[in-house]
Amino acid sequence: MLKFKNRQELGWCFYDWANSAFATTVMAGFFPVFFKNYWCQGMEVTKSTAILGMANSLSGFLVAAIAPIIGAIADSGSYKKRFLIFFAYLGVLSTTALFMVQRGNWLFAAVAYTIGTVGFSGSVIFYDSILPLITNKKRIDYVSALGYAMGYLGGGILFAFNIWMILHPAFFGLKDANHAIRISFLTVAAWWGIFTLPIIFFVKEPGKEPRISPKFAFRSGLKQLTHTLHKMQHMKTIVLFLTAYWLYIDGVDTIVRMGVDYGLSIGFEYRDLLLALLITQFVSFPCAIVFGKLGERIGAKHAIFIAIGVYIFAVMWAMRMKATYEFYGLAILIGLVQGGIQAMSRSFYSRLIPHDQLAEFYGFYNMVGKFAVILGPVLIGITGIFFESSRMGIASIVILFITGGVLLFFVDEKKGAEQTKYLSLRENGQ
């Protein structure tokens, strides 16, 4: 099922296998609950929630603020891979630090988590920007999907192992579930660190030889960023796509981050929710690959429309569900398209942007991604309070998918590529 053309594609995809362990086990699975029950033990629930929210917001803001800048610098000096390695191992070290945080030390835990999230998100900027360098336009949808598929499989395997360890700590010679969760942070750090090695050894970054100095790259990068910001007023197709992407991916990310909270609010057990998260991981693995093939046949844009349609149906189903088996059904349904919509968005964007400024433009792409999960939670909160119903709150997310889909309809891939080519030729005096 996994068909790699060469070692570069294999090495690139393995980084998704590596960093997804952090996204699944730490961000989505254990950290939020462990933060409340262990590091913030005895603290008011509202206060611990506020601290966790601030940590997430701060990490997102930091990455969003620096993404285009470091992207421009990486492009100027051909430092994409070096930046990826730096941020990846920053995340590895921070995740290791979580193991050492003692009960009640919420400040150290929040700081380590924030830095780890910055490492995770920062590395993804350069991971995405390397994609067009290791494959061709014909295979880019499929390879992008392969990366997400590898991520869901790798993250799911380690997450399943960690859940087993937490449910049966004595089997592993551990004191209790709390000890098992702390050990799980070490497993994530080791997994992330080891499986980052393939992209280091197998992927070659073409670029300037010899590379310009970091000092000059910094100056050149800032100058290039200023120029790009001015130039983007003529790249209307790119701006339109980023706006559409911001809206529908906000809906996707809101479901990912608020799904467990919604399940708890309507009476489901936490263990059932963890199982549902595992189901989504393993369903997303083969389905992301299917979406890659679908993108090759009907185009990435049409594949995104299919995923948006499925999400709209899933949200309306979530509003009405009552039984636990329905939550499992939703987990399967979301797994069908979650990896696909992410992979097709990444590869579709690559067709619109100049290939001599990949890291910079993917910096903007990831900046938009980090500013996502702003409208969704606000919509859920305001709508839920107004109607006094969590179910109406979750239903409001449909607005994001519909408006994002409408804007995407007006994105013309051919026109966007022509705009980029025209501006590049004009700059080169041709």
Collapsing DSSP to helix, strand or coil, 104 comes out as coil
Q: Are 142 and 293 in contact (CB under 8 A)?
A: yes
| Digit-coded pLDDT (tens) for 271-283 | 777 788 888 888 9
Given a cut of 80, is residue 195 above it in pLDDT?
A: yes
Summarize the chain as % helix, strand, coil (round to 5): 85, 0, 15
Specify the pLDDT at position 210.
Answer: 46
Specify the higher pLDDT residue, 429 or 413: 413
How far lies 371's CA from each of 64, 290, 406, in Å?
7, 29, 20
Given a cut of 70, is residue 258 above it in pLDDT?
A: no
What DSSP string describes 190-250? HHHHHHTHHHHHH------SSPPPHHHHHHHHHHHHHHHHHHGGG-HHHHHHHHHHHHHHH
Rounded to whole angstroms, how far apart are CA atoms 298 and 348?
12
Here the tokens at position 78 are 């051909």
Specify the higher pLDDT residue, 294 or 356: 294
Percentage above 90 pLDDT, the chain: 34
Given a cut of 60, is residue 209 above it in pLDDT?
A: no
Collapsing DSSP to helix, strand or coil, 173 comes out as coil
Percentage above 70 pLDDT, the chain: 86
Specify the pLDDT at position 271.
Answer: 75
Best-predicted range by mean pLDDT (154-163, 201-210, 366-375): 154-163
Residue type, 341: I
Burial pattern 342-372, b for ≥16 Cβ within 10 A else e, equals: bbbbbbbbbbbbbeebbbbbbbbbbbbbbeb
Given a cut of 90, is residue 186 above it in pLDDT?
A: yes
Specify the higher pLDDT residue, 387 or 248: 248
| Digit-coded pLDDT (tens) for 297-326 | 999 999 999 999 999 999 898 888 888 888
Which of 29, 33, 8 lies closest to 20 in space, CA to CA?
29
104: left (phi over 0), alpha (psi -120 to 50) or beta: left
* Sign of the C-alpha dihedral computed for residues 137, 142, 148 and 150 taken in this order: negative
151: left (phi over 0), alpha (psi -120 to 50) or beta: alpha
Ranking 55-64, 145-154, 219-228 by mean pLDDT, the lowest is 219-228
User: Tokens 């942007």 appear where?
Assistant: 353
Average pLDDT over residues 178-201: 95
- Residue 165's pLDDT band, with cuts at 50, 70 and 90, is very high
Ranking 120-124, 258-262, 328-332, 383-387 by mean pLDDT, the lowest is 258-262
Q: Are 305 and 259 in contact (CB under 8 A)?
A: no
Here the tokens at position 313 are 């149906």
Q: Which residue segments constitute the domains of the chain, with CATH numbers given? A: 7-427 (1.20.1250.20)
The two most distant CA atoms of the chain are separated, in Å, by 71
Given a cut of 80, is residue 53 above it in pLDDT?
A: no
Tell me what the pLDDT averaged over the chain comes to.
84
Specify the pLDDT at position 44.
Answer: 74
Given a cut of 90, is residue 261 above it in pLDDT?
A: no
Specify the pLDDT at position 272.
Answer: 78
Specify the pLDDT at position 180.
Answer: 93
Give the pTM: 0.81
Identify how many contiguous H helices and E strands the chain contains and give both numbers. Answer: 18, 0
